[in-house]
Structure 1
């Protein structure tokens, strides 16, 4: 009989593999980064899957950058089918690009020829003959330019219509597809989803995770299909759907696509998580879920913020410590109320405004800058690029006010925005519009002022009240329980409990 010393040590159980997948960009996706960090800290082997790099991800998390081609989804734009409305449009992107490039080349050649005629010395009859020939060529080019320009303009109009299919005929086509194909209508109406399947499918299959955490309903569809393939090969994958607030689709076609995806995959998820209690109840009823979704709000982790006045966003804007500064974070779109901030600046004198955005070259942001120039406040409007997710509260803390001037839209009513929690952890007084969830939280906590959405004068009143007595509003954050309740350490606990119920306890 052998001794205990001769017995082999039991091999350690391999870590359970968790994939967090999003169909969008990873960089700046605070939800993806925070979920990955929580799962990594809990002991799972975590892989982040999405487009672009993920600079904010923990070093121990594997990042898989997926490139989605547009072979199927881009076909509508490359061959826009002009029809009767644009009969002269080029039939494809290749012909459009070739013709417009040829026109530009001919213009350059003729400009060179004109310069040559000016500098070359020839006998007068030859010079006159050459200039006459050049003039005829210019006239021919003008005719050709007009014809090419007309066809090119019609092509661009046809492509733009294909990008935004919102005519009655488009709506009718979407309804017919819904009736004919039912839950599979998304395949017909949005081939770009098939491009995503081609890009993401092999990555998910190669990782062979035990759980996929899908951010949004498009990622959910990718996850469910990967789970079905794995089950066919004898490997079980649990799927968690992370459902954000519902944002109304821009067109009827997009609405039919979203509805078809949700009807196909929402009830197939093994677990559902979302960002608010009221939203959880709505999801339960809308999709006929078997259990109430787990609630995990997208809050920052509780960390110590120094609040230095010479650092962060203030330093990025090159402002001194005594210059009043409000900050707005997140993408800038018309329904987020950024125009209210710009319109208020002439009435707020020395106040500066910083927009912390993912894309400083966004076209709508250019419109805001133009408006600021016209009303004489362009020097007090600053545009700053995103910082890594873990650094956001510290980066914002040198400002004086955090603003959320969003409009009264249904998807803004039920949950607090991530930016609200980030302002709180930066210890910033807030000025928010009278959207239900934010207004109620602000009035209860006493950490800011509420104004009427789209009302510039009331926004000026609210900002002035905060600047007059900022300490009054910052005192709300002295209550330890408030920020502890609004922390990722607290909010991630139910999410990890859901993982444990699906996968079993970690060793």
Structure 2
């Protein structure tokens, strides 16, 4: 989106969260990816003081009455206990090495024994309080009990659209971090990605307007994903409802989702739709293209070895387990998972399951490649898979990976979630299987491998790739900018 706006003649500043522990002053400009005089990047550290306050200072309760009242007290007491143990160990060495008359040695050893006894009593007490503190902190970070759910519901009932302040104060940490940067940049338009950025953008626009500077706000609304718990879900819902109608324009990633947003928030117009699609490029394996090492070469596989590819994180709701469970039944088939972090815990669990099934040699984990290389990188595979589960946020839109597979001219095997199943059956570029059904997944993969040319030809029969290209999809977004800002000088 930033590149598209830059090419359309806008001065663009990207503002985002700095990596944890990154050096530099808040809002300091970072390196500009891709270069260009009209594109700047600012990485902003977010301290997270308000968001972590509940976990760092758990309140007294009947379940954990001995828990330390703050993280500082917990750290101090556990460190003090460790230091005392070290000093007593050193004292034991001293008594063994230093010569003393027998009466003095007896007194010293008696005092040493009493000191160890006192240390043991204190250690038991500290361990008990520390264990209760850790349990209380875990409860604060993962409030999933019925009492927590009831408290969150009552907070929404009593505070209405302001409940997010109580339920997710981390949103105010982002206001503290990003607000001054937006005030300094003084933009004419803020493109707020997600509901968390929306509140920051609306407040910055109000402050700017009070000084006579008009700021338009575009809310980029992705599909709503379920929160980790009811507290997080209610916080997101109330925050979104508080600011959604104040945005000057709304953009999202699917027609059905746009209609849902209009009905949910009573928007005056249907949001614009700009799907996250790759730019249209030459055929990855076409004449005149330089051969680049693709996913097959990275897996060290020959051209005759069947290979399916799965891109993106391997969280449970994306269905990677279905792929691994199917490998013993698909014999020579190899599976490549292209993931953002090969060392992630979910990836490790997937490797462990593959080892249990005896198919670890046919499971390959690869890191991400640059965005512009994705279609050519994937093109050497035989199938692109999207085995996502039947969850509400998977139903209304086509996943970005679906478009990436299409631009790589890959046949697809997708689960029977609404949008992807309908697109696949209409285009004929792959097979649909029942979500979570390993046997049906094996059937679908076998059907594609039997006649892959049939499915690849689907991309040649219609001009679907031009329709699913960023050149086409970015046009409504730029039109929205133009309507809000007027003619550019």
What TM bracket, shorter-length normalisation? Answer: 0.7 to 0.9
For 2:187 and 2:354, locate their aligned partners in 1 and report how far apart those are by CA, in whole Å: 50
Return closer, same or farther for 1:354/1:110 CA change in 2, 3 Å cut-off.
Answer: farther
For 2:243 and 2:230, locate their aligned partners in 1 and report how far apart those are by CA, in whole Å: 20
Return closer, same or farther for 1:59/1:150 CA change in 2, 3 Å cut-off.
Answer: same
The Cα of 1:263 is off from its aligned counterpart by: 2.3
Aligned partner of 1:12 in structure 2 is: none
Give the TM-score of the pair, scaled to structure 2: 0.88
Aligned counterpart in structure 2 of residue 439 of structure 1, from 405, 409, 421: 421
Aligned counterpart in structure 2 of residue 205 of structure 1, from 183, 193, 197: 183
For 1:315 and 1:88, locate their aligned partners in 2 and report how far apart those are by CA, in whole Å: 58
- The secondary structure found in structure 1 opposite 2:471 is helix
Aligned counterpart in structure 1 of residue 13 of structure 2, from 47, 52, 56: 47
Residue 59, structure 1, aligned to residue 35, structure 2: yes
For 1:313 and 1:56, locate their aligned partners in 2 and report how far apart those are by CA, in whole Å: 28
- The secondary structure found in structure 2 opposite 1:457 is helix
Q: Trace 1:385-400 onto structure 2 (pairs within 5 A).
A: 385-400=367-382
For 1:492 and 1:476, locate their aligned partners in 2 and report how far apart those are by CA, in whole Å: 24
Aligned counterpart in structure 1 of residue 309 of structure 2, from 303, 327, 340: 327
Report if aligned partners of 1:275, 1:296 keep a CA contact under 8 Å in 2.
Answer: yes
Residue 215, structure 1, aligned to residue 197, structure 2: no
Aligned partner of 1:381 in structure 2 is: 363
Aligned partner of 1:500 in structure 2 is: 482
Aligned partner of 1:229 in structure 2 is: 207
Give per-residue Cα distances to partners, 1:412-448, cap 9 Å, x unaligned. Answer: 1111001110111122211110111111111111111
Aligned partner of 1:184 in structure 2 is: 162
Return closer, same or farther for 1:281/1:102 CA change in 2, 3 Å cut-off.
Answer: same
For 1:345 and 1:149, locate their aligned partners in 2 and report how far apart those are by CA, in whole Å: 47
The Cα of 1:310 is off from its aligned counterpart by: 6.9
Aligned partner of 1:473 in structure 2 is: 455
Aligned partner of 2:27 in structure 1 is: none
Aligned partner of 2:330 in structure 1 is: 348
Give per-residue Cα distances to partners, 1:103-142, cap 9 Å, x unaligned. Answer: 4455666777788999x7989x999999999888777666
Aligned partner of 1:274 in structure 2 is: 252
For 1:75 and 1:438, locate their aligned partners in 2 and report how far apart those are by CA, in whole Å: 42
Relative contact order higher in (CA < 8 Å, ≥ 6 apart) = 1
Give per-residue Cα distances to partners, 1:125-169, cap 9 Å, x unaligned. Answer: 999999999888777666555443333222221111111222222
The Cα of 1:466 is off from its aligned counterpart by: 1.9
Aligned counterpart in structure 1 of residue 54 of structure 2, from 76, 79, 83: 76
Report if aligned partners of 2:32, 2:41 keep a CA contact under 8 Å in 1.
Answer: no
Report if aligned partners of 1:36, 1:57 keep a CA contact under 8 Å in 2.
Answer: no
The Cα of 1:385 is off from its aligned counterpart by: 2.3
The size of the alignment, in residue pairs, is 472
Q: Trace 1:449-464 onto structure 2 (pairs within 5 A).
A: 449-464=431-446
The Cα of 1:252 is off from its aligned counterpart by: 2.4
Aligned counterpart in structure 1 of residue 297 of structure 2, from 315, 330, 342: 315
Return closer, same or farther for 1:136/1:255 CA change in 2, 3 Å cut-off.
Answer: same
Return closer, same or farther for 1:504/1:470 CA change in 2, 3 Å cut-off.
Answer: same
- The secondary structure found in structure 1 opposite 2:472 is helix
Report if aligned partners of 1:56, 1:389 keep a CA contact under 8 Å in 2.
Answer: no
Give per-residue Cα distances to partners, 1:236-269, cap 9 Å, x unaligned. Answer: 1111111111223332222322222222211111
The Cα of 1:360 is off from its aligned counterpart by: 2.6
Return closer, same or farther for 1:477/1:94 CA change in 2, 3 Å cut-off.
Answer: same
Aligned partner of 2:2 in structure 1 is: 36
More deviation, 62-71/369-378: 369-378
- The secondary structure found in structure 1 opposite 2:190 is strand
Report if aligned partners of 2:31, 2:41 keep a CA contact under 8 Å in 1.
Answer: no
The Cα of 1:178 is off from its aligned counterpart by: 2.0
Aligned counterpart in structure 1 of residue 280 of structure 2, from 295, 302, 316: 302
- The secondary structure found in structure 2 opposite 1:196 is helix
Residue 163, structure 1, aligned to residue 141, structure 2: yes
Give per-residue Cα distances to partners, 1:308-366, cap 9 Å, x unaligned. Answer: 88713333334444433222111221111111112112222232222222233322222
Residue 357, structure 1, aligned to residue 339, structure 2: yes
Aligned counterpart in structure 2 of residue 410 of structure 1, from 380, 389, 392: 392
For 2:105 and 2:17, locate their aligned partners in 1 and report how far apart those are by CA, in whole Å: 61
- The secondary structure found in structure 2 opposite 1:101 is helix
Report if aligned partners of 1:310, 1:398 keep a CA contact under 8 Å in 2.
Answer: no
Give per-residue Cα distances to partners, 1:351-388, cap 9 Å, x unaligned. Answer: 22222222333222222222222222223222222223
For 2:379 and 2:188, locate their aligned partners in 1 and report how far apart those are by CA, in whole Å: 39
More deviation, 108-117/426-435: 108-117
For 1:115 and 1:447, locate their aligned partners in 2 and report how far apart those are by CA, in whole Å: 76
- The secondary structure found in structure 2 opposite 1:432 is strand
